[in-house]
Amino acid sequence: MRSEQTLTAPNASALSLQVAEWLITRLASSSGRRSIALSGGSTPLALFRCLARPEQARRIDWQHLHIFWSDERWVPYTDARSNYGAAYESLLRHVPIPSHNIHPVPTEHSPEHAAKDYARTLQAFYGSPNLDPAQPLFDAVLLGIGADGHTASLFPGQEAPAAMEQWAMAARPEGQLPRVTLTVPVLNSTAALAFLVTGQQKRDIVARVRKGEAGLPASRIDPTGDLVWFLDHAAAGSVH
Ligand code: 6PG
């Protein structure tokens, strides 16, 4: 039976430690090969730095953990806006994770080409092109929410993926970098999904998404496993 929880903390730093401990516990509760999908943006950076600290890092079985991304901006990995680059610099280069366990979204050719490529990578990892709710693709997915209700790189008003079974797609949000994003069914294929949101400026959108407001991509997130809201008090408002 899946659960939905809301955990709050006074500030982003305390929240990051809470998320790190939650993730460590989740990963320790399963055996064999494990996989997580990381979101981009600025909020998870404090979490990544926390996971890189010895007192957290030594409790993760990096040899059996595979890292994917919920989305990526169309920039070189060395660009400060790269989600992979940010995770590598703040976490992955500091921990003993085998390089073949790290699966960044490719950023060659075109976002459309990269989306097809990444879908193939995910399907090869999963072992099938068809997601089975009883066998989630990820052990955990970490997502942020933008002030407009986007999550990953699924933006309001964006056309739905061409085919429902599309695992990844190109996104070209108005006035922003082109991106590649996992689609909703793939993000939902997880044993646990955590929204990590901080700051007063997100309070309104958090409340709207939690009410399931239509038209907000974050409202379409409905994981097969557990859903956890990690909110600092500023983003949580009256929730905490
Ligand atoms: C991205 C993210 C995106 C992010 C939200 C929140 O690549 O931008 O995946 O979905 O999670 O925009 O970003 P902040 O954490 O910077 O507020």
Output DSSP code: residue 88. Answer: H
Residue among 43, 45, 26, 44 nearest 34 (CA): 26
Residue whose token pair is 């059996």: 64
7 membership: H or E segment, kind and range: strand 4-9
Instruction: Say how many Å lie between the CA of residue 153 and the centre of ligand 1.
Output: 8
- Residue 70: CB within 6 Å of ligand 1? yes
Query: What are the DSSP calls for 20-34, one per residue?
Result: HHHHHHHHHTS-SSE
Residue 1: per-residue pLDDT: 59
pLDDT of residue 240: 62
In order along its 240 residues, the chain shows pLDDT tens digits of 579 999 999 999 999 999 999 999 999 998 899 999 999 999 999 999 999 999 999 999 999 999 999 999 999 999 999 999 999 999 999 999 999 999 999 999 999 999 999 999 999 999 999 999 999 999 999 999 999 999 999 999 987 777 778 999 999 999 999 999 999 999 999 999 999 999 999 999 999 999 999 999 999 999 999 999 999 999 999 776
What lies within 8 Å, CB to CB, of 200 at 6+ separation is 234, 235
Residue ranges and CATH numbers for the domains of the chain are 11-225 (3.40.50.1360)
pTM of the model: 0.97
Give the residue whose CA is nearest to atom 2 of ligand 1. 40
Test site for ligand 1: of 90, 151, 184, most ligand atoms within 8 A of the Cβ:
151
Residue pointed to by tokens 């079974």: 165
What does 94-137 look like in DSSP terms, one character per residue?
GS---GGGB-PPP-SS-HHHHHHHHHHHHHHHHTSSS-BTTB-S
Q: How far is the CA of 179 from the centre of ligand 1 (A)?
A: 12
Could you tell me what percentage of the chain is helix, strand and coil, using 3-state DSSP and rounding each to the nearest 5?
Answer: 40, 20, 40
